[in-house]
């Protein structure tokens, strides 16, 4: 496997630059659309990192939806043909639409989408993009909210990919299950989704309270493949956890026997262990074991704080992570 640094010529924008500019765009949008409750439409997959940060900077009421289109495939130049792979889930008549993209390049995709959506009679359609590359423009399209103008070079990172590489993995845990139910298509773009058995039952409209780990493992394996979720882990309290993956593999991770004093923070510790393990290239079995160990270390103390561990205690080498990650509560 080639090192990412062999492919990257230079760093174009720092994390601090992006964070500052994204906050500025969020403030502008909040001012321009005050009292109008716009609908942000993310163009998957590239938009998801920028859009997540942008939404945190928007201070007015708004809603979110996503579209998935194909135009790049696995090439570094656009094919010129646009295909809708996922359409909106709601009526947009009379709504203010803000199309969110990672980069405005040739403009072919966004021009097509603007025309495609305009027949549904929205109040307005504007475009927000992290990067604007006018030297490559082929279609008459303009971004009202553009983060940075970039030169005619192929850029990757922060959600932008090259042949599906260099996107950052996203790990998601539940804080509001209704969002996961309503936006379950988002789970297809998570590297790993973690919830408990009651939340899994809500997601799949079934009752799992009386299921054994073996039964829930098999049920989860079916649902994960049907819903196209890359990886999913379901915690079962004292019964441990089960997991399933898109490739059909699944398993059970038994809980550790400890003297339980306080379960506060156990789920967060488990999620942290899963994220850390997968980030460092561990298998699902290994990542779940790390999560189980961290969780056990929390519930056997009344202080609700993970003890400090050395990475080597989990078989992790500092500086050898498979890539940076993003974590979301949804």
In a shared domain, residues 66 and 212: no
Domain count, the chain: 2
- Specify if 160 maps to a domain: no
- Residue 299's domain comprises 170-329
> What average pLDDT is seen over the chain?
79
Q: How far apart are CA 300 and CA 62, in angstroms?
A: 42
In a shared domain, residues 188 and 145: no
List C-alpha distances in Å: 49 to 130, 191, 270, 327: 10, 13, 24, 11
In a shared domain, residues 78 and 226: no
Please say if the pLDDT value at position 234 is more than 60: yes
In a shared domain, residues 138 and 188: no
In a shared domain, residues 111 and 212: no
Q: Domain boundary at 120, 149, 178, which? A: 149
Per residue in 153-188, pLDDT (tens digit) is 545 444 444 434 444 556 666 666 776 777 677 787
Per residue in 9-57, pLDDT (tens digit) is 455 667 778 888 999 999 999 999 999 999 999 888 777 778 888 888 8
What CATH number corresponds to the domain at position 15?
3.40.50.2020
- Specify if 165 maps to a domain: no
- Specify if 163 maps to a domain: no
Per residue in 182-230, pLDDT (tens digit) is 767 778 777 888 999 999 999 999 999 999 999 999 999 999 999 888 8
Q: How many residues does the chain have?
A: 330
Q: Are strands 231-235 and 241-245 parallel, antiparallel or unpaired?
A: antiparallel
Q: Is 117 helix (H, G, I), strand (E, B) or coil?
A: helix
- Specify if 161 maps to a domain: no
In a shared domain, residues 137 and 216: no
In a shared domain, residues 118 and 181: no
Residue 9: per-residue pLDDT: 45
Average pLDDT over residues 142-150: 88
In a shared domain, residues 305 and 207: yes
Please say if the pLDDT value at position 253 is more than 50: yes
- Specify if 156 maps to a domain: no
What CATH number corresponds to the domain at position 300?
3.40.1190.20
In a shared domain, residues 129 and 264: no
Q: Domain boundary at 149, 178, 207, which? A: 149
The count of other CB atoms within 10 Å of the CB of residue 48 is 23
- Specify if 155 maps to a domain: no
In a shared domain, residues 139 and 18: yes
In a shared domain, residues 175 and 73: no
Q: Domain boundary at 149, 180, 201, which? A: 149
In a shared domain, residues 189 and 137: no
Please say if the pLDDT value at position 80 is more than 90: no
Residue 266: per-residue pLDDT: 78
Q: How far apart are CA 136 and CA 235, in angstroms?
A: 48
Catalytic residues: 105
Give Dmax (Cα) for the chain: 66
CB 102 within 8 Å of CB 159: yes
- Specify if 157 maps to a domain: no
The count of other CB atoms within 10 Å of the CB of residue 60 is 15
- Specify if 299 maps to a domain: yes
């Amino acid at each position: 496997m080639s090192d990412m640094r062999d492919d990257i010529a230079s760093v174009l924008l720092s994390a601090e630059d992006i964070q500052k500019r994204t906050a500025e765009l969020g403030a502008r949008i909040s001012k321009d659309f005050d009292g109008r409750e716009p609908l942000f439409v993310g163009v998957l997959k590239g938009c998801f990192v920028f859009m997540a940060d942008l939404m945190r900077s928007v201070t007015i009421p708004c809603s979110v939806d996503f579209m998935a289109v194909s135009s790049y495939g696995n090439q570094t130049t656009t094919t010129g043909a646009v295909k809708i792979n996922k359409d909106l889930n709601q009526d947009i008549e009379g709504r203010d639409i803000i199309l969110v993209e990672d980069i405005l390049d040739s403009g072919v995709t966004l021009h097509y989408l603007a025309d495609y959506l305009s027949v549904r009679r929205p109040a307005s359609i504007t475009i927000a993009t992290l990067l604007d590359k006018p030297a490559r423009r082929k279609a008459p399209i303009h971004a009202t909210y553009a983060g940075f103008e970039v030169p005619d070079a192929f850029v990757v990172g922060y959600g932008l990919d090259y042949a599906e590489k260099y996107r950052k993995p996203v790990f998601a845990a539940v804080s509001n299950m209704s969002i996961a139910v309503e936006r379950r298509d988002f789970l297809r773009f998570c590297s790993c989704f973690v919830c408990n058995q009651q939340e899994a039952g809500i997601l799949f409209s079934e009752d799992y309270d009386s299921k054994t780990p073996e039964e829930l493992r098999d049920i989860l394996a079916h649902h994960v493949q049907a819903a196209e979720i890359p990886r999913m882990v379901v915690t079962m309290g004292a019964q441990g956890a089960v997991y399933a993956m898109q490739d059909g593999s699944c398993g059970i991770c038994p809980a550790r026997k400890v003297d339980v004093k306080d379960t506060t923070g156990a789920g967060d510790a488990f999620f942290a262990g899963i994220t850390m393990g997968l980030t460092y290239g561990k298998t699902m079995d290994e990542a779940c074991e790390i999560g189980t160990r961290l969780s056990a270390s929390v519930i056997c103390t009344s202080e609700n704080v993970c003890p400090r561990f050395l990475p080597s205690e989990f078989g992790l080498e500092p500086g050898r992570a498979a890539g940076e990650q993003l974590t979301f509560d949804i």
